[in-house]
Amino acid sequence: MNLRTGQGIDFHRLENGLKLWLGGILIPSEKGCLAYSDGDVLLHAICDAMLGAAGLGDIGYHFPDNSPEFKGIDSKILLKRTYQLIREKGFSIVNIDSSVCLEKPRIAPYIPEMKSVISGILETAPEDLSVKATTAEKLGFIGREEGIVAIAVVLLKQ
Ligand SMILES: [Zn+2]
């Protein structure tokens, strides 16, 4: 069995009055992500980790942010397409671990729903998908609520 690991990281700027899509769900928030797509940092980091593990480049290569096809797109569609790309190469997911770092709102209550949405798309058992949340202790751009970051690590088998 061929085991392959990959990591992904994504940043988005937060601005007042925009929607906060995270882990495939809409979270009540004063601020949301400025992005070409729906700005779902967690799904973007997971896509990049899967593509990296499979040696398939990155999310910007497959879903360019100058293509009208992807303007405002639901990132769940990008996740589904990424999963199809790795399946075409004979890969399946062993496990995913991920972290979201933002100052507010508190997203812990929404994590079970995010996991349910993501594991539904990726055909993984809930225990094979981890989503964690942390703040930046008011430090830097995350602490000033100017931005959000997500990191994901994935293990694939072929
Ligand atoms: Zn992104």
**Ligand 1 centroid, distance to 1 Cα (angstroms):** 32
Are the C-beta atoms of 49 and 156 separated by less than 8 Å? no
At residue 156, what are phi and psi to the nearest 5 degrees? -110, 155
CB atoms within 10 A of CB 40: 30
**What is the rounded average pLDDT of the residues 84-97?**
98
What proportion of the chain, given as a percentage, has pLDDT over 90? 92
Provide the pairing of β-strand 147-157 with 92-101: antiparallel
What's the confidence (pLDDT) of residue 55?
97
Say yes or no to pLDDT of 70 above 90.
no
Q: Are strands 20-22 and 92-101 parallel, antiparallel or unpaired?
A: unpaired
Please state the pTM of the whole predicted model: 0.97
DSSP per-residue letters across 76-131: HHHHHHHHHHHHHTT-EEEEEEEEEE-SSS--GGGHHHHHHHHHHHHT--GGGEEE
Q: What is the pLDDT of residue 155?
A: 98
Q: Has residue 15 got a pLDDT over 90?
A: yes
Distance from the CA of 70 to the center of ligand 1, in angstroms? 12
The Å distance, Cα 151 to ligand 1 centre, comes to: 11
Q: Residue 66: what pLDDT?
A: 87
Beta partners for residue 46, in sequence order: none
How far, in Å, from the CA of 121 to the mean position of ligand 1? 18
Return d(Cα 41, Cα 115) in angstroms, integer: 14
Who wins on pLDDT, 1 or 30?
30
Query: For residue 94, how far is its CA from the centre of ligand 1 (angstroms)?
Result: 23
Ligand 1 centroid to residue 123 C-alpha, Å: 22
Indicate whether 91 pLDDT > 90. Answer: yes
- Residue 144 phi/psi, 5-degree rounding, is -85, 5
What is the 73 CA–ligand 1 centroid distance (Å)?
A: 11
